[in-house]
A and B are shown apart, each in its own frame.
Chain A
Amino acid sequence: MAEVTLINHSGTQTTLDVPPGTSIMRAAIANGVRGIYAECGGDTMCATCHVYVEPEFSELFPPVNEDEDEMLEATACDRLPTSRLSCRLTIPEGCGAVVVRLPESQR
Chain B
Amino acid sequence: MSARVVIVGAGHAGISTALELREAGFTGPVVVLDQAGHDPYERPPLSKAWLAGAVSTGELAFRAREVYARRRIELRTGVRVDAIDRGSREVVTADGTRLPYDHLVLATGARPRALPVPGAGLAGVHRLHTLTDALALRAALDTARALAIVGGGFIGLEVAAAARKRGVPTTVVEAAPRLMRRVVSEPVSAFYHRLHEDAGCVVRTEAVVAELTGEDGHVTGVRLAGGATVPADMVVAGIGVTPETGLAGAAGLATGDGVLVDEALRTSDPAVFAVGDCARFPLGDAMERLESVQNAADQGRAVAAAVTGDARPYRDVPWFWTDQHGCKLQIAGIATGADEWAVVGSVQERRFTVLCWRRGALVAGESVNRPADHLALRRLIAAKASISPAAARADGFTLKDHARALAG
Give the interface of A toward B (CB within 8 A). Answer: 22, 26, 29-32, 34, 39-47, 67, 70-71, 73-74
Residues of the A chain whose Cβ atoms lie less than 8 Å from the Cβ of B294: 39
Please tell me if B340 contacts chain A, counting CB pairs below 8 Å: no
26 A-B pairs (CB sep. < 8 Å): A22-B59, A29-B63, A30-B64, A30-B67, A31-B63, A31-B64, A31-B66, A32-B19, A32-B71, A34-B23, A39-B293, A39-B294, A41-B42, A42-B49, A43-B49, A44-B371, A45-B321, A45-B330, A47-B375, A67-B369, A70-B370, A70-B371, A71-B372, A73-B400, A74-B371, A74-B375
Give the interface of B toward A (CB within 8 A). Answer: 19, 23, 42, 44-45, 48-49, 59, 61, 63-64, 66-67, 70-71, 293-294, 297, 321, 323, 328, 330, 369-372, 374-376, 400
How far, in angstroms, from A26 to B371 measured CA to CA in the complex? 20
With contacts A39-B293, A39-B294, A67-B369 taken as known, whether A31 is within 8 angstroms of B374 at the C-beta atoms is no
CB of B400, distance to nearest CB on chain A (Å): 7
- Other than the given A31-B66, A45-B374, A74-B371, 4 more pairs (CB < 8 A) read A29-B63, A43-B328, A71-B371, A74-B400
Which of A34, A39, A44, A46: most chain B CB closer than 10 A?
A: A46
Please provide the 10 A-B residue pairs with the shortest distance between their CB atoms, ordered closest to farther.
Answer: A32-B67, A74-B375, A70-B372, A74-B372, A30-B64, A71-B371, A41-B44, A45-B321, A70-B371, A73-B372
Residue on A nearest B374 in the bound complex, by CB? A45
How far, in angstroms, from A46 to B372 measured CA to CA in the complex? 9
Determine whether the beta carbon of A45 is less than 8 Å from that of B372. no
Determine whether the beta carbon of A40 is less than 8 Å from that of B321. yes
B interface SS class: helix
Residues of the B chain whose Cβ atoms lie less than 8 Å from the Cβ of A26: 59
With contacts A45-B328, A74-B376 taken as known, whether A67 is within 8 angstroms of B293 at the C-beta atoms is no
How far, in angstroms, from A91 to B294 measured CA to CA in the complex? 27
Residue on B nearest A47 in the bound complex, by CB? B375
Determine whether the beta carbon of A31 is less than 8 Å from that of B372. no
How far, in angstroms, from A63 to B59 measured CA to CA in the complex? 24
CB of B212, distance to nearest CB on chain A (Å): 33
Residues of the B chain whose Cβ atoms lie less than 8 Å from the Cβ of A43: 48-49, 321, 323, 328
Contact of B371 among A32, A39, A45 (CB under 8 A): A45
How far, in angstroms, from A105 to B26 measured CA to CA in the complex? 21
Residues of the B chain whose Cβ atoms lie less than 8 Å from the Cβ of A73: 372, 400
Residues of the B chain whose Cβ atoms lie less than 8 Å from the Cβ of A30: 61, 63-64, 67
How far, in angstroms, from A31 to B65 measured CA to CA in the complex? 9
CB of A98, distance to nearest CB on chain B (Å): 19
CB of A24, distance to nearest CB on chain B (Å): 13
Determine whether the beta carbon of A31 is less than 8 Å from that of B67. yes
Residues of the B chain whose Cβ atoms lie less than 8 Å from the Cβ of A47: 371, 375
Residues of the B chain whose Cβ atoms lie less than 8 Å from the Cβ of A46: 375
How far, in angstroms, from A30 to B67 measured CA to CA in the complex? 8
Residues of the B chain whose Cβ atoms lie less than 8 Å from the Cβ of A29: 63
Determine whether the beta carbon of B372 is less than 8 Å from that of A32. no
Residues of the A chain whose Cβ atoms lie less than 8 Å from the Cβ of B372: 70-71, 73-74
Residues of the A chain whose Cβ atoms lie less than 8 Å from the Cβ of B23: 34
How far, in angstroms, from A84 to B49 measured CA to CA in the complex? 21
How far, in angstroms, from A34 to B25 measured CA to CA in the complex? 14
Residue on A nearest B403 in the bound complex, by CB? A74
How far, in angstroms, from A41 to B44 measured CA to CA in the complex? 8
